[in-house]
Each structure stands twice: as structure tokens, then as C-alpha cells.
């Protein structure tokens, strides 16, 4: 029986070590970090272990040698000096007014000032921070360690609100500026967050930070590698295989497909999502654990605000400047989606410095599409999975009329304000629906000049579809035949359906579909 304690949701290093929870040893990388630089920034998706990393650094700089017994750090560190630590966690507050951030910082400063004293002349938040740093250094005789967890939480919560973003940016710029002005009093500084806001943002005051987010040496600082899985969880792999009636190799492949695939720098080792992995071993079954903990709605708001074509997410190309920094005024949602962990590096063209992005794994791809569906189609979060199940069953049984009537229901009541971008809206609805169906049946779609042609394959049927907007279903069918879309399947033993579909701007829905069923013709129209 497996008696291992899994630290699911536990972000405190001391608690993990004292209470006997399992810890994947990252302390050799922590040692390398503290011995080779002074100021760092690391961005990683939520629940990837950023808070645990900050807590590990805190225990190290507190000189708590006993917590590192049996870990790599025990052999590496000889001195174990205790430093004064200023730890800020911005994750524990709702930031919806300028005062909400000021109140949070004021509370943190009050705690520090009770330890290190105050000066009446220090009126602003930034002056008080500078004063605390200097007094902590002078009082203890050791330079100060500054640890900031989720530094970007206020900025992220204010995406879409330019006035609030500006207020937060100005407050944080001045506040974090103390890391530069009091450099002589500081031993080490580390900021973590999901995103990196650049250009005219808080980082303009922190150009002394080393950003290790895309540094190959620290790619595995958060998250779990395949090597670590086989080193630390071999018993769990066999137990999971037994529980799920799978072979050892099948379990390894399933874990890889579901939770691996994060690459935070080109040509680096793949990283597994630690939260999903630990939950899988704890519950001894596969699930969308990371996704079920909540996806920020600001991602969808960004996609919709910028009228983003979701097809582009399947083959995004960009450069390091875009990946490394978010410009709050930019119309490109991709940097936020990448840094939030919904896209990752899939390839790199060294000659031009171009990164190719894609979904890291099945959990993220399917979870993200399921999350998007209610924002684009007429369905709810609860209904969406069942609707996709019905779509799949209809095409698996050859019931294309029910399939298209259901699709009509998804497109019904398209908001009037979306009419100006109706073609993109339909493209996005189709992309999400067919992407979700693609986890159960084989789906291929190609876009050209805003049009979509689609091939859908089940065990018994092949569907070749062409969609038009304000054309005719007959024109769509003509294109299938003229361009010989069905030719690759003519020798296939499965039943073949060619389907021409037309969307109407007037009705804002599917107006008609025509089906040619292996030589016979069948025509249906919408009930609108």
C-alpha cells in the first residue's frame, strides 16, 4: 500500500519537510540560483510551484539547515547564515480599486516596521519600504532578502481597465524601485508571477533583475521532469497501471499525453504539470485536475476583445520579445495565454528567432476548449460536455440532420454586436466544437481566406464538409466536387457524406445544408 503523503495545495516548505510530505528535490537548482546572482524574476503558470520555491528560498535564507536534511542542499551549503527576510505575497487580495493595493502594501509594511522601526519622514509606501530595508540591514548586520510572490496579481486583475492598470503600475513601479535604490543593503531578491509586464510597466524600474523564465538552466526549477517521475514515483506508476487495468508503458504514455509537454525554452526538457501529476498519483486515476481549479475569465475577455481568430492558436508563431513581456496596451492576447500556461513552445526556428507555439497537452487543450465554448455558443458550462457527447454520437451513427440542428441551436441568438464580425464568430464556434469532437473522433480542418473545409472520420462514416457565409449550400457542394475534396476517401470502405453548408447573415444562423450520400442526394433546410 502507498503511504506517501502528497503535498497537494501545500506551498510551505517547512510544513512539507516537518510533516513528512513528499518533496521533489529542487534544492541543487536553488543553490545554483542563490550563488550565481542577486536579483531574479521567474514566470510560470499557476499551481506550478512558484510559492513553494519562494518558501524554499525563505527557509534557506533563514538558515534552517535541519529542513534540508537528506536533500542536495545539505551537501552543497556549508555556512547557513540567517538573513533578515521581507516576504510579500500579493496572491491573497482582490485588487479592484487603487486603495486595495495600497492597503495590502500598507499592511505588509506595518508588520515589518513593528520589527525594524519607523521614521516620521517616511510618508509614501516606497519611502517606507526603503527605510525598512535599510534598518533591517543595520539592525541585524546582514543584508536583506526580498521575496515577492505573485508580483503581477494586481496588474492581471486590472486587465481591460486602463485607469486601474495605470494606478497599480505607478504604485508598484515606485514600490519595487527600492530594490534598486537600496542595492547596497540587499543580499538577494526574487519576484515570481504568472506574467511579465514590460515596456512602460513595473519592470522599467527593475532592469537589474535577471529573468530566468526562458533560461534552460532553470527550466525544471518548477514542475516535474520525466526523469524525476521515474526516480521518485516508480511505485506509483506500477500502482496506477494496476488500478486502471493498463500496462506500465500505457500509463507512462497516458501521463505524458495528459500532463507533459511544457517547454519554457527552446530545445529544453519537457515539464509535467506538478499539480495534475500529484493528484493523479493521490487519487490513482486520470483527470483534468489543473484545469478544474479555475481558469481566469480575463483570457476569454482578451480573446473576444481583440476578435481573435481561434484557428490561429493551432499554429502560433512569434518571437522572444513577445513571449518575454506583456504590453498592457497590446492587442495581441498570445503573450498572456502563453505565460498563463495554455500555450507552450513547440518548436524554434533559430535562423529567424521564431517560436512556434501550441497546446502543451491534452488536459490543457481539451480543458481550454471546454472553457471557451459557453462564451462563444448558446450553451452553459454544465451543458457543454453533454452537448459535445451528443454531437459525437450523432456523427458516429450517421445522423447528420440531428447534428446540424444541434449546431443551429449553438449558433442561435448570436448577439447583435457580433454581427459585424459574424464570419469570425462562426469560424470560432466551429473551431471549438470540432476541436472538442476531435478528442473522440478524427477531425481535420483547413482554412483558406476565411473559409473552412472539414473532414470528420468515425469508424463507420467519413464526412467532407464545406461552409459558406451568405453564399448557398449548393455553392459549397459545388466547391467540394470541383476541388475533389472527397477524392482521398473514394476507395475507403466507410460510408462517405459530402455536405455543403451555408450560414446566413440575415438569420445569423445556419440557413441550409445539402448532403450527397455516396451517390444519392439528400437536402435539408433549417427550421429558422
Tell me the pLDDT tens digit for each residue of 221-269: 999 999 999 999 999 999 999 999 999 999 999 999 999 999 999 989 9
Contact partners, residue 185, CB within 8 Å, separation at least 6:
133, 134, 136, 137, 143, 144
Higher pLDDT, 370 or 418: 370
**Which one, of 198, 109, 90, lies nearest residue 148 by Cα?**
90
Query: Measured on CA atoms in the order 96, 98, 99, 104, is the torsion positive or negative?
Result: positive
On the question of pLDDT at 3 being above 60, the answer is: yes
Q: How confident is the model at residue 204 (pLDDT cuts 50, 70, 90)?
A: low
C-alpha 190 chain-centroid distance: 22
The mean per-residue pLDDT over the stretch 412-426 comes to 69
Long-range interactions of 398-407: CB distance < 8 A, separation 24+: 398/460, 398/461, 398/495, 398/497, 400/463, 400/497, 400/499, 400/513, 400/515, 401/524, 404/501, 404/510, 404/513, 404/524, 404/526, 405/526, 405/527, 407/433, 407/510
On the question of pLDDT at 295 being above 80, the answer is: no
Q: How confident is the model at residue 200 (pLDDT cuts 50, 70, 90)?
A: very low
**% of the chain exceeding 70 in pLDDT:** 92
The mean per-residue pLDDT over the stretch 461-485 comes to 93
Tell me the backbone φ, ψ of residue 227, rounded to 5 degrees. Answer: -60, -40
Q: How confident is the model at residue 415 (pLDDT cuts 50, 70, 90)?
A: low
- 134 to 34, 124, 139, 175, 181: CA distances (angstroms): 21, 16, 9, 14, 10
* Most trustworthy range by pLDDT among 248-262, 299-313, 326-340, 463-477: 248-262
Q: How confident is the model at residue 335 (pLDDT cuts 50, 70, 90)?
A: confident
**% of the chain exceeding 90 in pLDDT:** 67
Find cell 465554448 and name the residue. 373
Distance in angstroms (rounded) separating the CA atoms of residues 332 and 372: 18
The mean pLDDT of the chain is 90
From the number of C-beta atoms within 10 Å of its C-beta (0-12, 13-18, 19+), residue 236 rates as buried
The mean per-residue pLDDT over the stretch 486-503 comes to 93
On the question of pLDDT at 527 being above 50, the answer is: no
Distance in angstroms (rounded) separating the CA atoms of residues 130 and 121: 12
How many CB atoms are closer than 10 A to CB 36? Answer: 10
Distance in angstroms (rounded) separating the CA atoms of residues 48 and 213: 13
Q: How would you write 364-383 as a 3-class SS string?
A: HHHHHHHHHHHHHCCCCCCC
Cell readout for 501 is: 453548408
pLDDT, position 246: 98
On the question of pLDDT at 419 being above 70, the answer is: no
On the question of pLDDT at 83 being above 80, the answer is: yes
The mean per-residue pLDDT over the stretch 261-278 comes to 95
On the question of pLDDT at 383 being above 70, the answer is: yes
Q: Give the pLDDT confidence of 97-139 residue by residue, as tens digits.
A: 999 999 999 999 999 999 999 999 999 999 999 999 999 999 9
- Looking at the chain, which residues constitute the CATH 3.40.50 domain(s)? 13-218
> C-alpha angle 251/254/255, rounded to 5°?
85
Higher pLDDT, 275 or 177: 275
Q: How confident is the model at residue 403 (pLDDT cuts 50, 70, 90)?
A: very high
pLDDT, position 60: 98
* Contact predicate 456/449, CB 8 Å: no
How many CB atoms are closer than 10 A to CB 76? Answer: 14
How many CB atoms are closer than 10 A to CB 102? Answer: 15
pLDDT, position 32: 98
The mean per-residue pLDDT over the stretch 353-370 comes to 94
Terminal C-alpha separation, the chain? 60
Report which secondary-structure segment, H or E, holds 277: helix 274-283
Q: Side-chain half-sphere of 29: how many Cα atoms within 13 Å?
A: 16
The mean per-residue pLDDT over the stretch 335-343 comes to 89
Percent of residues in the chain assigned helix, strand, coil, to nearest 5: 45, 20, 35
Q: How confident is the model at residue 324 (pLDDT cuts 50, 70, 90)?
A: confident
Report H helices in 95-196. 98-116, 125-140, 153-157, 162-176, 178-181
Cell readout for 251 is: 500509463
Report which secondary-structure segment, H or E, holds 120: none
Fold classification of 13-218 (topology level): Rossmann fold (3.40.50)
The mean per-residue pLDDT over the stretch 270-292 comes to 95
> C-alpha angle 56/174/264, rounded to 5°?
45
Distance in angstroms (rounded) separating the CA atoms of residues 133 and 120: 16
Q: Which of 31-35, 148-152, 405-409, 416-420 has the lowest mean pLDDT?
A: 416-420
Cell readout for 436 is: 472538442
Q: Which of 112-116, 424-428, 438-442 has the lowest mean pLDDT?
A: 424-428
pLDDT, position 45: 93
Q: How confident is the model at residue 447 (pLDDT cuts 50, 70, 90)?
A: low
Cell readout for 239 is: 500502482
Amino acid at each position: 500500500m502507498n503511504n506517501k503523503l502528497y503535498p497537494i495545495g501545500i506551498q510551505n516548505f517547512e510544513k512539507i519537510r516537518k510533516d513528512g510530505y513528499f518533496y521533489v528535490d529542487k534544492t541543487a537548482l536553488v543553490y545554483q540560483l542563490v550563488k550565481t546572482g542577486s536579483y531574479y524574476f521567474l514566470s510560470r503558470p499557476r499551481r506550478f510551484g512558484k510559492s513553494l520555491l519562494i518558501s524554499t528560498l525563505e527557509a534557506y535564507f533563514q538558515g534552517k539547515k535541519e529542513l534540508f536534511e537528506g536533500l542536495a542542499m545539505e551537501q552543497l551549503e556549508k555556512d547557513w547564515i540567517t538573513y533578515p527576510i521581507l516576504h510579500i505575497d500579493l496572491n491573497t487580495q482582490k485588487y479592484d480599486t487603487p486603495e486595495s493595493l495600497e492597503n495590502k502594501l500598507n499592511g505588509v509594511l506595518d508588520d515589518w516596521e513593528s520589527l525594524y522601526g519607523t521614521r516620521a519622514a517616511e510618508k509614501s509606501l516606497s519611502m517606507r519600504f526603503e527605510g525598512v530595508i535599510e534598518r533591517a540591514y543595520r539592525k541585524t548586520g546582514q543584508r536583506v532578502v526580498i521575496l515577492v510572490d505573485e508580483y503581477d496579481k494586481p496588474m492581471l486583475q486590472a486587465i481591460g481597465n486602463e485607469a486601474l492598470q495605470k494606478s497599480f503600475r505607478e504604485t508598484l513601479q515606485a514600490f519595487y524601485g527600492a530594490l534598486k535604490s537600496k542595492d547596497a543593503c540587499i543580499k538577494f531578491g526574487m519576484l515570481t508571477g504568472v506574467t511579465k509586464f514590460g515596456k512602460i510597466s513595473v519592470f522599467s524600474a527593475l532592469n537589474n533583475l535577471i529573468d530566468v523564465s526562458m533560461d534552460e538552466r532553470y527550466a525544471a526549477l518548477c514542475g516535474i521532469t520525466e526523469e524525476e517521475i521515474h526516480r521518485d514515483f516508480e511505485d506509483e506508476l506500477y500502482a496506477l497501471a494496476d488500478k486502471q487495468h493498463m500496462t506500465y508503458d500505457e500509463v507512462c504514455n497516458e501521463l505524458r499525453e495528459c500532463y507533459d509537454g511544457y517547454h519554457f525554452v527552446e530545445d529544453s526538457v519537457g515539464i509535467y504539470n506538478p499539480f495534475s501529476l500529484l493528484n493523479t498519483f493521490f487519487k490513482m486515476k486520470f483527470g483534468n485536475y489543473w484545469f478544474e481549479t479555475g481558469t481566469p475569465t480575463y483570457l476569454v475577455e482578451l480573446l473576444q476583445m481583440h476578435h481573435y481568430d481561434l484557428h490561429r492558436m493551432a499554429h502560433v508563431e512569434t518571437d522572444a520579445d513577445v513571449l518575454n513581456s506583456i504590453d498592457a496596451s497590446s492587442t495581441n492576447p498570445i503573450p498572456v495565454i502563453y505565460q498563463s500556461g495554455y500555450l507552450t513552445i513547440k518548436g524554434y526556428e533559430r535562423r529567424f528567432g521564431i517560436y512556434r507555439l501550441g497546446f502543451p497537452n491534452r488536459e490543457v487543450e481539451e480543458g481550454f476548449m471546454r472553457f471557451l465554448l459557453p462564451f462563444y455558443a448558446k450553451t452553459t458550462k454544465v451543458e457543454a460536455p453533454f452537448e459535445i457527447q451528443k454531437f459525437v454520437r450523432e456523427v458516429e451513427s450517421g445522423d447528420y440532420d440531428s447534428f446540424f440542428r444541434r449546431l443551429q441551436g449553438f449558433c442561435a441568438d448570436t448577439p447583435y454586436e457580433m454581427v459585424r464580425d459574424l464570419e469570425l464568430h462562426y469560424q470560432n464556434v466551429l473551431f471549438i466544437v470540432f476541436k472538442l469532437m476531435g478528442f473522440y473522433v478524427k477531425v481535420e480542418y483547413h482554412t483558406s481566406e476565411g473559409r473552412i473545409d472539414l473532414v470528420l472520420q468515425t469508424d463507420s462514416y467519413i464526412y467532407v464538409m464545406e461552409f459558406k457565409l451568405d453564399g448557398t449550400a449548393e455553392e459549397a457542394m459545388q466547391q467540394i466536387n470541383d476541388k475533389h475534396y472527397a477524392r482521398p476517401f473514394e476507395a475507403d470502405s466507410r460510408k462517405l457524406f459530402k455536405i455543403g453548408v451555408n450560414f446566413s447573415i440575415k438569420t445569423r444562423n445556419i440557413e441550409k445544408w445539402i448532403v450527397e450520400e455516396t451517390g444519392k442526394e439528400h437536402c435539408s433546410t433549417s427550421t429558422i
